[in-house]
Amino acid sequence: MAAKLSPTNGVSYGTSYTVTAADQSATYVEFTVGKTDAIGTYTPATFNIVAVFNTKSSANATIANTGAVVTYPATGTVRIANGGSYTLTAGQIIDVIIQRAKATV
């Protein structure tokens, strides 16, 4: 139900995540960004993020994200959930790119 991501270039995070049966039952998937140190300790981020995602079938056919509910339940975390005609199904692939967000005034 949650994937912990480390940066790919210092401020960007990306992954292709396969939806599990547990994700399908929970009706959402969460991605948390942070850093993993040299001994493997993961520390969640303390900054705001913005995310964009694409959903594909297990055969790599694009699935419309229409109705998907995207929220940010905690700092450094994005949640993608069922909504409208969007339903998570085990085996689907979510490609997500997450970027550190700079607050505007």
Q: Phi/psi at 25 (nearest 5 deg)? A: -65, -40
Vertex 85: Cα angle to 22 and 101 (nearest 5):
75
pLDDT at position 10 is: 64
Residue where the block lists tokens 């959903």: 55
| 30 and 73 Cβ atoms separated by less than 8 Å | yes
CA–CA distance, 84 with 59 (Å, rounded to integer): 23
CA–CA distance, 85 with 58 (Å, rounded to integer): 18
pTM: predicted TM-score of the whole model, two decimal places: 0.87
pLDDT tens, residue order, the chain (105 aa) = 566 766 666 668 888 999 999 999 999 999 988 888 888 888 888 888 999 999 999 999 999 999 999 999 999 899 999 999 999 999 999 999 999 887 776
Select from 9, 26, 28 the least CA-distant residue to 17: 28
| 78 and 48 Cβ atoms separated by less than 8 Å | no
CA–CA distance, 62 with 103 (Å, rounded to integer): 32
